[in-house]
Copies of this chain bind each other. A is one copy, B any other.
Amino acid sequence: MKNPKVVILGAGYGGMMTTVKFQKMVGTNEVDITLVNKHDYHYQTTWLHENSAGTLHHDQTRIQIKDVVDFNKVNFVQDTVQSIDPKAQKVQLENGELEYDYLVIGLGFETATFGIKGLEENALMISNINNARLIREHIEYNFSRYNNEPGERDDLITIAVGGAGFTGIEFVGELANRVPELCKEYDIPREKVRIITVEAGPTALAGFDEELVEYAMNRLEAKGVEFLIGTPVKEATEDGIIVEKDGQEEEIKTKNFIWAAGVKANSIVQESGFEVNRGKVEVRDDMRAPDYDNVFVVGDCALIMNEETGRPYPPTAQIAMQEAEVIAHNLKELVRDGSELESFEFNNRGTVASLGQRDAIGVVFGDKKLYGWTASVMKKVIDNRYLLKLGGMGLLLKKGKFKFFH
């Protein structure tokens, strides 16, 4: 009898954790496991804002897949997924095709541009390692140009960030620490540099406790970050952005516009014919797609309703990892013809948003609010816990964050 073929698409939080958990549950000759990913590394999406600002090197954010996946049990294919045919049980790659008996879709997110004119062409996006180091270099290059260009080219040292959600806020927090270093490096007075956060919604950090939001904004403003709340971006051009403030259009001249205002599920899911809700697959309790018993969906491509609020849980690393544990267990049951499928239940361990060096805000243990240094330590503890879970002590020591006083 042939071994069942399990194919896992994507080595993000969901796909990676599924692979690592599942490989430990099965024997070497029990299942053929294949993991497909564009790069030979996994990266921590939640650290990319630091790489983008230039406050953390991207090599700390990425993890070689071979360092955590057991290549005796898992066949790794470095390729890009083009489409999925769930009826024929096939996956089309750029350079090949894979057949499966069981599939896990963990293809992650794409940036949502909400149809804003010029955004695709003129904004930089914090979406992967390549983009993150491009943003770092893009900003640094413009700072290096400042003293070489005739006239006062303030657009070169103005940084506009679209979105004051989680990513936008964490990014400007890092920028506030990075900018003084750039000013020193390129002999630019700090007061000439502007960091502007533009948010269409009525508040920064929507969904967070109001008191924490106010703390965050005060702290960031004290570090020179400007906020334009209730101010949608209407257009992005080569020279800057056009925003709408109190019914008036206004131009902000900048050569550094970073869009951090929203993500959507990888469009391959919808294009492959799965039934979707807001572009995502609304999975069953056992994390399987509603229309296919052999397809699991994890992370940003999966939608799970929070029955208390009637709205979907936001896509986070935390929920993706919890989903992966259920999927690994259920995969094991299915390949062994078991029937003890587990149901997913979200265990909210809280959320902490970093505000740059030694500062953060968060809610943990249900309703305990955290501020400042304490919160920043908690943030690092959460980051480190993930590494421990993924790759054990070795990985934690290699890639962990231990500078609690920085």
A interface, CB within 8 angstroms of B: 130-131, 133-134, 136-138, 140-141, 143-145, 147-148, 185-187
22 pairs, CB–CB < 8 Å, chain A vs chain B? A130-B147, A130-B148, A130-B187, A131-B148, A133-B144, A133-B185, A133-B186, A134-B144, A134-B145, A134-B148, A136-B144, A137-B137, A137-B140, A137-B141, A137-B143, A137-B144, A137-B145, A138-B141, A138-B144, A140-B140, A140-B141, A141-B141
| Closest beta carbon of chain B to A38's beta carbon, Å | 11
Prevailing SS type, chain A contact patch: helix
Distance, CA A246 to CA B25, complexed state (A): 68
- CB-CB under 8 A from A185, the residues of chain B are 133
- CB-CB under 8 A from A147, the residues of chain B are 130
- CB-CB under 8 A from A133, the residues of chain B are 144, 185-186
| Closest beta carbon of chain B to A145's beta carbon, Å | 6
Q: Enumerate the 7 nearest inter-chain pairs by beta-carbon distance, A residue then B residue, closest first.
A: A137-B144, A141-B141, A137-B141, A130-B147, A134-B144, A134-B148, A130-B148
Who on chain B is nearest to A59 by CB? B185
Who on chain B is nearest to A147 by CB? B130
- CB-CB under 8 A from A131, the residues of chain B are 148
Who on chain B is nearest to A124 by CB? B148
Distance, CA A136 to CA B136, complexed state (A): 14
- CB-CB under 8 A from A144, the residues of chain B are 133-134, 136-138
Distance, CA A269 to CA B131, complexed state (A): 48
- CB-CB under 8 A from A134, the residues of chain B are 144-145, 148
- CB-CB under 8 A from A138, the residues of chain B are 141, 144
- CB-CB under 8 A from A130, the residues of chain B are 147-148, 187
- CB-CB under 8 A from A140, the residues of chain B are 137, 140-141
